[in-house]
Amino acid sequence: MYFIFPVCIIGRGVFFVSICFIVAFIVLWRMGYTHVLNHGFFNKKIILLGSGALAQNIIKEINENKDCGYQVAAIVDSVKDGKTFPLMALSTLCLRGYEELCSHAKEMNIDKIVVAIEERRAGFPTKQLLQCRVDGIDVIEGTSFYEMLTGKLIVEKINPSWLIFSDGFRKSWIRKTVKRTGDLLLSTVMLFFLSPILLLVAILIKMDSKGPIFFSQERVGEDRKPYMVHKFRSMVQDAEKKSGPVWAQSNDSRVTRVGKFIRKWRIDEFPQLLNVIKGEMSFVGPRPERDFFVKELETAIPYYGERFSVKPGVTGWAQVSYPYGASVEDAKEKLNYDLFYIKNMTIFMDLMVIMRTVKTVLFGEGAR
């Protein structure tokens, strides 16, 4: 700032005192913030109905994320066999039966009741929940609360009716036009300014190992239309000639010396900007996958085919929220994030993904 605007130069003493003040302020602010989080001064208290897998996932997320803004004040279940509630905070109250649900909620100043009851045929507290809702207490379905809490879905816990009647999945022509315009502008600007770096990378790839500069491979795009994705080649030529289609692994022996560097900093992905300009991809969207893996994953993971309702992306919510996946379980977890993105897709969310991508690239995280 002093170099660009010399008129802003102040005395050394004032500068030193201001630096000390800023450091002290930041330290005190963080100490105060940590104190607030540890004591949950502003947390909203909730009652959790149910004790199954969904309820346990909600409790786990709240316990592990102090800044989520919620505190489980009570767990209520109709089961009377004396089973315990694991993963529970010491201050949490366990209640059996729903009879006094409303009175308990009022006594404890509950802000929200989360319904995570998985077995509803044995008895559902319709009357009690209706009374709570009429009395001004917010009632939310457990899957929706988990989505709001974590930024992902649980494909194994959601049913088609929840997807049909839930908010989201809006794809108006205005949103599509704005998204496409942003894709074209961002991709064109990036290719223009990064062209010297891309040229240097191309030369290094050619000098480092035999084979072409670019790696092209067929992927499944929007509406299951196949297209050729383009990347800088980071592996030896014909890397899958003997093994066939396989996921990349940590410290993969097929990766070249230059390949390790460009994978770490995501430079190998930049040629996909050409796919974005052609309209085959978007800048933000689900990761493009090969047909070989798509067939395998669709048989193992529910709702996997729904990710083809939008264009695949150079980056995406799953890529910035979950590390590189190399198994069916990883693909399932990534689909949880992909479905959340497709359901809540907005320009603001795209900007958030782009900013988190910049952070990931700068720190070289999650590459293989």
Q: 97: how many CB neighbours lie within 10 A of its CB?
A: 14
pTM given for the model: 0.86
pLDDT, tens only, 71-103: 999 999 876 544 555 545 445 777 778 888 999
Q: Which residues pair with 112 in a beta bridge?
A: 46, 138
For residue 287, the one-letter residue type is: R
Higher pLDDT, 51 or 69: 69
Rounded (to 5) percent helix, strand, coil in the chain: 50, 15, 35
Res. 13 pLDDT band, cuts 50 70 90: confident
Q: What is the pLDDT of residue 82?
A: 47
Please say if the pLDDT value at position 170 is more than 90.
no
Q: What is the pLDDT of residue 221?
A: 97
Domain range annotation of the chain: 44-150, 173-363
Q: What is the pLDDT of residue 91?
A: 59
In the chain, pLDDT over 70 holds for what percent of residues?
94
Please say if the pLDDT value at position 127 is more than 70.
yes
Q: Which of 61-70, 171-180, 299-308, 323-332 shows the lowest mean pLDDT across its residues?
A: 323-332
Q: Which fold is adopted by the domain 44-150?
A: Rossmann fold (3.40.50)
Q: What is the pLDDT of residue 312?
A: 97
Q: Which residues pair with 44 in a beta bridge?
A: 70
Distances in whole angstroms, Cα of residue 288 to Cα of each of 80, 95, 189, 345, 355? 48, 47, 23, 17, 20
* Rounded-to-integer distance, Cα 185 and Cα 183, Å: 6
237: nearest Cα among 262, 257, 255, 258: 255
User: Residue range 140-155: average pLDDT?
Assistant: 94
Residue with tokens 């988190």: 356
pLDDT, tens only, 220-242: 999 999 999 999 999 998 887 76
Largest Cα–Cα distance of the chain, in whole Å? 76
pLDDT, tens only, 349-368: 999 999 999 988 888 666 65
Q: What is the pLDDT of residue 242?
A: 64
Higher pLDDT, 244 or 114: 114
Q: What is the pLDDT of residue 159?
A: 87
* Rounded-to-integer distance, Cα 152 and Cα 321, Å: 9
Q: What is the pLDDT of residue 222?
A: 96
Whole-number mean pLDDT of the chain? Answer: 89
Q: What is the pLDDT of residue 252?
A: 78
Q: What is the pLDDT of residue 10?
A: 77
